[in-house]
Structure 1
Amino acid sequence: MAETITFTKGHGTGNDFVIIADPDGALDLSPAQVAALCDRHTGIGADGLLRVVRTAAMPEGTAGGDAEWFMDYRNADGSLAEMCGNGIRVFARYLTESGLAEIDADGARIATRAGAKTVTRAGTGFEVDLGAWSVDEDGPLVRVRGWNVARPGLGIDVGNPHVVVVLPDDDDLDGLDLTWRPILDPEPAAGANVELVVPAEPLVQNGVGRIRMRVFERGVGETLSCGTGVAAAALAVAHWAGEGAPAEWRVDVPGGTLGVRTVARGAARHVLLSGPAVLTFTGQVALA
């Protein structure tokens, strides 16, 4: 007989997730089971799955630090992912609504495959410190279906890999065909999310940078939003803008608007992502 489990559905600016509480790490979900749960026709439907498990129950070396809870994030195809900026805010919402953790202005630590991240309350949602980032100016060329020529991409790593491409105007962004995976040349060994970005005109309004973005996520496809991708896109445009770039950004995605800011943390600069996190319903499902 198939095992029946309880799940919760949630989203952050339309980037949606199946959430499964497994505090003691008893569930061993296969990639096929994750993909079946995330299937939008025959399953619950989601861009990914968040397994809520105590860090102590994870294999040694998977996570560490002072975080009680580990976010075991899987892409919709069942593959493992290092980090998810929208997912960790939804994860934080689940912890607080379920009474598993308190998250206030002082924040709480949540472990991920990209290390432990600090999450704090921010307005009606949450803000996560994604940590330091790195830039690869020799990023791959990117070809989207329908383009006659490939365009240069900037590599940005915020705990998971991204390639950001700037477009000239909104018509180019709106006309993109992202039903097919963009081709990266060379293809990064671990793959990468691809962000297509249009800066606002003017770029800076009242001291805040504004951009629009669409994204193709590895292991998923085009999504309404990608939290780490939003951070990567803002960092890429700031990199291109140079020293006069603002430290605060607003990024519009098909699912809503997210905030990005950079702050000093000792000798390093960190990037922080803020936005809403919503739990929509709870149910039960039989594991295949």
Structure 2
Amino acid sequence: MQIFDKAVDLQSFLNSCRKNAQEVSLVPTMGGLHDGHLDLITRAEELADINVVSIFVNPTQFSKSEDFDTYPEVIANDIVLLEAKNVDVLFIPSVSEVYPDGMSTDYEVGDLGKILCGISRPSHFNGVAQVVKRLFEIVNPSYAVFGEKDYQQLLIIKSLVSHLDLAVDIHSISTKRDEDGLAKSTRNQYLTKKDRSLAPNLFEQLTKLKILIINDEPIELSRQQAFNNLSNIFQVEYLEVLDANNLKQITTNTKEIIIISAIRLAETRLIDNIVFRRSNV
């Protein structure tokens, strides 16, 4: 595995690969890698000849009250995992390398970034779009792979690619879970033993809500019941049942549905979702 921390060196290497008719894929991460990230890498390796994984904790997607300064950095362990996966390239840039002209941005993600997670994290998705755009500019991948756990982020990145007419195909991978259903996340390591035992209740309630909807139970009544059940355990930021294609309110004709939620358990914020199709629409 080749490791680069300078954009110009990475670009020189990738340009030489392209001269040999090799396509490039990108998996952007913030490190603290787990099995979910490794699934993304597996998919990226299927798509292209040269797989680039980036590790960069992006300051512009964190607010002052969030965990930028304490976000887990375990680069030595990450490198071991990436080498075991036979990743071709690791890109670990500095902030000044990613943002040589400063961290301001004129790209606005719009209304899609103002709902759900965007309510409690109003600058988050502009920061996500900013760093993804920069990584695409540096790496110039033919393909990029993201996880579906961060579903709102996934739709925003697809919108970014569409609006800017970028020549990169976005692929996604379903959420990787522990045996008890908890979605894999770097932030899971923040959980105490007690909180870890409670955390799977999030996915359990989403699953029960899905079953009620499939069985044609009243959606809003079922959502409120699930919200109340979650509130007995967690501080619930939101629990919504929406159109999975655009995160708008569902109609009688909506076929693909997402149940999407964010909760807090002590100091740890967890997100999760379930996407499914209604067979009777």
Whose Rg is larger? 2
Structure with more of its chain in helix, by fraction: 2
Larger RCO, structure (CA 8 Å, separation 6 or more): 1
